[in-house]
């Protein structure tokens, strides 16, 4: 006959399994939500998705440390208004969760459509290697690291070269130098992987 001890042990293992799948979906929701806020310049909403000591590093502009600094960085990005397209679609997650530790890693990519009416139209694509942490019972972004694969002029396409990385941050200086040195297309770049096995 099955003992209550055996059942309790099975429950322990099953809880871990169920939590891992739930964590995967929660983190997928979180990163997708970030993208919708970025699209529309909702910078405070986007910053709120970071952990208190979360970091942000995008396009070789250095590392911003802590939610307040991430917020400052985001606020120097373009304002969303008539004539602006600033789409950052969040796609193709590979998420590995350590449910017990309350931490996770995720590889994502963004396909970017950037436009300012009669001024500029660009395609872009980047890889993210992000960290996540469970904070007060909710998953938050512990580290967002975006590595640009290419930006190109819509009118030219990626086969006529790329737009060099724009490193200006309007006077909001990073807290640490960038962690990964690279140039985007036409230079080859492979964002580091957080996993060796899947």
Q: Which of 61, 69, 105, 107 binds its own copies (CB under 8 A)?
A: 107
Of 52 and 160, CB closest to its own copies: 160
Q: Does a cis peptide bond (omega within 30 degrees of 0) precede residue 186?
A: yes
Instruction: State which of positions 13-42 bind its own copies (CB under 8 A).
Output: 14-15, 17-22, 24-25, 28-30, 32-33, 35-36, 39-40, 42
| Residues whose CB falls within 8 Å of the CB of residue 63, separated by 6 or more in sequence, listed in order | 55, 56, 57, 174, 175, 176, 177, 178, 179
- Cβ closer to its own copies: 101 or 190? 190
Q: How far apart are CA 53 and CA 24, in angstroms?
A: 22
Residue 128 neighbours by CB under 8 Å, 6+ apart: 31, 106, 107, 108, 109, 110, 144, 145, 146, 147, 191
Tell whether residue 187 is a contact of its own copies (CB under 8 A): yes
Locate all alpha helices (DSSP H) within the chain, ordered by sequence. Answer: 4-39, 43-47, 67-75
Segment interacting with its own copies (CB under 8 A) among 3-11, 51-59, 68-76, 164-172 = 3-11
- Find the binder of its own copies among 53, 66, 93, 172 (CB under 8 A): 93
Residue 166 interacting with its own copies (CB under 8 A): no
Site for its own copies in 50-79 (CB under 8 A): none
Residue 102 near its own copies by CB under 8 A: no
């Amino acid at each position: 006959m099955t003992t209550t001890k055996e059942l309790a042990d099975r429950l322990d293992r099953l809880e871990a399994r169920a939590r891992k799948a739930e964590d995967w979906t929660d983190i997928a929701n979180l990163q997708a939500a970030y993208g919708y806020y970025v699209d529309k310049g909702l910078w405070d909403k986007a910053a709120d998705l970071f952990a208190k000591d979360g970091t942000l590093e995008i396009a070789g502009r250095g590392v911003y440390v802590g939610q307040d600094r991430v917020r400052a960085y985001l606020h120097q990005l373009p304002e969303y208004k008539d004539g602006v397209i600033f789409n950052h679609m969040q796609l193709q997650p590979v998420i590995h969760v350590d449910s017990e530790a309350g931490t996770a890693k995720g590889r994502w990519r963004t396909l970017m459509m950037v436009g300012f009416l009669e001024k500029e139209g660009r395609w872009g694509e980047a890889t993210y290697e992000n960290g996540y942490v469970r904070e007060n019972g909710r998953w938050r972004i512990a580290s967002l690291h975006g590595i640009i694969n290419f930006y190109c002029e819509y009118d030219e396409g990626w086969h006529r070269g790329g737009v060099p990385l724009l490193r200006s941050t309007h006077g909001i200086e990073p807290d640490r130098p960038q962690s990964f040195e690279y140039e985007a297309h036409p230079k080859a770049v492979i964002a580091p992987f957080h996993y060796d096995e899947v």
